[in-house]
Chains A and B, each alone.
Chain A
Amino acid sequence: MSQRFTRKLGWNVLGLAIFAVMVFPVYWMINTSFKTNDEINSSLKPGWIPVHATLGNFERVMHKQYFWTDVKNTVIVVLVAISIAVVFAFLAAVALEKYRFTGRKTFLVLLIGIQMLPGIGLIIPLYVLLAHVPVLGLNLVNHLSGLIVVYISAVLPFSVWTLRGFLMGIPKELEEAAMVDGSSRLGAFVRILLPLVAPGLVAVSVFAFIVSWNEYVFARLLLNDGSTQTITVWLANYIGGEKAVDWGGLMAASTLIALPVVGFFLLVQRRIAFGLTAGAVRG
């Protein structure tokens, strides 16, 4: 009995140790963001907690050039991309689930296939395409709208796939029953289908939010001006060419940028893990 307890205790200690190692970088970021510069730069011994806790770093970050401009840019890009992507994805998912048409299966296979292509492999074609948009003859490089288009196409495959999963779970009879009871096709769609898929729409929106908020490669590629950047590019350039790095400010900025993502993430983490491997467990 006691030997069993010791073993259990051992596992738990190991669990706590892994917890400590995994969380340490996050903790260190927050810890540093509250420290004064003197505390950070005393090379003798790093402090485990900020002794003279200060909000000075956060204040400095918020007054830094382009911080708010770039936050605004990111929010615009993210919101527009999400709204358009969710509408498209929803309509596509409904079409895929409700109707049978030629090429439907191929389309589905392509959808998961495309999702796997690494974004970095597409930088050249996308750049060339956006620099001279066919037909319209526009140049969308260094323009937020170019980035919005890229993000929409980036999140669409996953969104369609996930929403389709949600739609599959809704029995056809529900809609039919509504129509038998005198509801129009549109009425059945709005009153039955939409409320039932709502959680899926939320999950997909949050997913799109996280992807576009975190995205770096395309933002770096397409936007090269301080005032049109997104926040990840701003953060990556923070260290810049200065000799003495403002670690406190850097960590404060990191904390601020991570916050919204952490918040949204807690809302949907289950759904995302589920979507990528859906069906495999029960298969």
Chain B
Amino acid sequence: MSLTIVGGTLIALLLTRLWTAVRILLTVGIILVWSMPPVVAVQVWIWMTNVQNGVLNYVLTTLHVGNYDGHNWFGSPTSSLAMATTLIVWGALPFVVITVYAALSQVPHELVEAAEIDGARAWRVFKDVTMPVIAPILYLLTCLSILWDFGVFTQVYLLIGQPAIVPGNYVMGVYLWEEAYVNTDYGRGAAISILMLVIVAAMSVFYVRRMVQTAEVT
């Protein structure tokens, strides 16, 4: 899921370089995407990747990426998981972009200008001036993304669809659901739950520590 963080940061950086009109357009678009309910997004994905009339196959074929006419995106576990991943990244990007953009606005202009006058390249400016300012935000975002994506269930479960769910495309949440709800094996389900919660708890230590520090819990 590092895709989300890197992509989000790049788009946020891009946002600072746009003309006002384009920037507002892109921001509105991003907020629109952000507000899509996951279940709705899944339905749109199912429709777009439909074997017969899906727009994805049409566009890819027209752009000569290859012949995708009648390509079944859910034919193999890997490909169906890839589709679920694009859906999740699409849904998670806006939060990252908006937050990083907000953080970028805290970077002092004078510092960037001074660095540029001193002959720093774009990469140097980013690494030595911008990065230190947005680093805490990126840290929190990374923690949040990992934690959220770990518990992902709805998108994967609904997009791939009940009959097509096989062990090859299980994520932890789906595995848990299958064992507990479909096979009514509560014991095994509970065992998966515990494992999952332990892993998440271990990872959330970092997030909680940082939140407690910054929010001045006294």
Chain A residues lying within 8 Å of B23, measured Cβ to Cβ, are: 15
- Given known pairs A14-B14, A25-B48, A43-B52, the reply for A116 and B39 (CB within 8 Å) is no
**What residue of chain B has the Cβ atom nearest to residue A48's Cβ?**
B55
Q: Does B112 make an interface contact (CB < 8 A)?
A: no
Q: Of A19, A42, A274, which one neighbours B29 at CB under 8 angstroms? A: A19
**A232 close to B (CB within 8 Å):** yes
Chain A positions within 8 Å of B180 at CB level: 123-124
A236, CB-defined interface residue at 8 Å: yes
Q: Cβ of A18: which chain B residues have Cβ within 8 Å of it?
A: 11, 14, 26
Interface residue A75 (Cβ < 8 Å from any Cβ of B): no
B43 adjacent to A26 (CB under 8 Å)? no
Give Cα A43–Cα B25 distance, bound, in whole angstroms.
32
Is A280 touching B136 in the complex (CB atoms < 8 A)?
yes
Is A190 part of the binding interface, using a Cβ–Cβ cutoff of 8 Å?
no
Number of interface residues of A (CB under 8 A): 71
How distant is the Cα of A278 from the Cα of B137 in the complex, in angstroms? 9
| CB contact between B26 and one of A15, A239, A269, A277 (< 8 Å): that residue | A15
Per-residue B-contact encoding for A14-34, CB less than 8 Å = 1, 0 else: 111011001101101100100
Considering only CB atoms, which chain A residue lies closest to B198 in the complex? Answer: A121
CB pair A108–B197 under 8 Å, yes or no, is: no
Most buried by A among B25, B102, B211, B212: B211
Complex contacts, A113 vs chain B, CB 8 Å: 201, 204, 208
Q: Is the CB of A257 closer than 8 A to any CB of chain B?
A: yes
Instruction: Give the distance in Å from the alpha carbon of A283 to the alpha carbon of B134 in the complex.
Output: 11
Residues of B contacting A269 with CB < 8 Å? 31, 34-35, 98
The yes or no answer to A227 lying at the interface (CB within 8 A) is: no
Query: How far does the alpha carbon of A258 sit from the alpha carbon of B42 in the complex, in Å?
Result: 12
Shortest Cβ gap from B50 to chain A (Å): 8
A279 adjacent to B150 (CB under 8 Å): no
In the complex, residue of chain B having the shortest beta-carbon distance to the beta carbon of A232: B39
Chain A nearest Cβ from B167, distance in angstroms: 17
Interface residues of chain B: helix, strand, loop or mixed (majority): helix
The answer to the question of B126 belonging to the interface, with a C-beta cut-off of 8 Å to chain A, is no
The stretch among A79-87, A132-140, A214-222 that forms the contact with chain B is A214-222
B214: chain A residues within 8 A (beta carbon): 278-280, 283
Cα A258 to Cα B25 with chains together (Å)? 20
Interface pair A261/B35, CB less than 8 Å apart? yes
Interfacial chain A residues near B173, Cβ < 8 Å:
118, 120-121
Q: Give the shortest distance, in Å, between B103 (CB) and chain A (any CB).
A: 6
Question: Closest chain A residue to B53 by CB distance?
Answer: A43
Cross-chain contact of B151 among A112, A118, A239, A262 (Cβ < 8 A): A118
Q: Choose one: A125, A273, A280; the contact of B98 (CB below 8 Å).
A: A273
Partner of A232, one of B37, B148, B190: B37
A66 at interface by CB-CB < 8 Å: no
Contacts of B217 in A (CB 8 A): 105, 108-109
Instruction: Identify the A interface with B (CB < 8 A).
Output: 8, 11-12, 14-16, 18-19, 22-23, 25-26, 28-29, 32, 40-43, 45-46, 105, 108-109, 112-113, 116-125, 128, 165, 210, 213-214, 216-217, 221, 232, 235-236, 238-239, 245, 247, 250-251, 253-254, 257-258, 261-262, 265-266, 269, 273-274, 276-281, 283
Q: Please list the residues of chain B having a beta carbon within 8 angstroms of any beta carbon in chain A.
A: 11, 14-15, 17-19, 22-23, 25-26, 29-48, 50, 52-53, 55, 58, 90, 93, 95, 98-99, 102-103, 106, 136-137, 139-141, 144, 147-148, 150-154, 158, 173, 176-177, 180-181, 186, 189-190, 193, 196-197, 200-201, 204, 207-208, 210-218
